[in-house]
Amino acid sequence: MEITVYRDQVLFREARWLPADTYNLARTLQARSPGGVVFVPIRSMQVLAILDREEFIFLDVEYKSWVMLAWQSFHADARAALDDPVAYELVCYQTSGREAMQRLPREFHQALRALAEKDRIAAPARVLKFEARRKSDKV
């Protein structure tokens, strides 16, 4: 899937902290993705999150291809432990971004969990045993 997005001028930037469980889940889903990009629909807010290695961007259905918010400059390497929050920079491009941030962290985490549940394997793993071939056996 390919989506072209556009950005307006930056309205404001601010430092924020992302809970470790949200950051870790997002990066785990991203690692599972063949292209390294994950599309996360946040249906409760009519927002699409696009996760890549550099940033998480959020598109509001009202603005279609225009970035409403971006979470950039993650500092995961500054953590002392995997359960520490991750510092990042919030960049707002649309006036609706400030209001969206009141719900977005919680709704984003729930959408990530729902997406992760879809990929979960419900059955226990099984080990298949095959008879080893001897060198004298020819195919």
Which has more pLDDT, 63 or 31? 31
pLDDT digits (tens, 9 = 90+) for 74-116: 999 999 999 999 999 999 999 999 999 999 999 999 999 999 9
CA 138 to chain centroid: 49
Domain boundaries, the chain: 12-119
pLDDT score of 82: 92
- 119 pLDDT above the threshold of 80: no
Handedness of CA 55, 58, 59, 63 (dihedral sign): negative
φ/ψ (deg, to 5) at 14: -155, 150
Which has more pLDDT, 5 or 125? 5
- 3 pLDDT above the threshold of 70: yes
pLDDT score of 120: 58
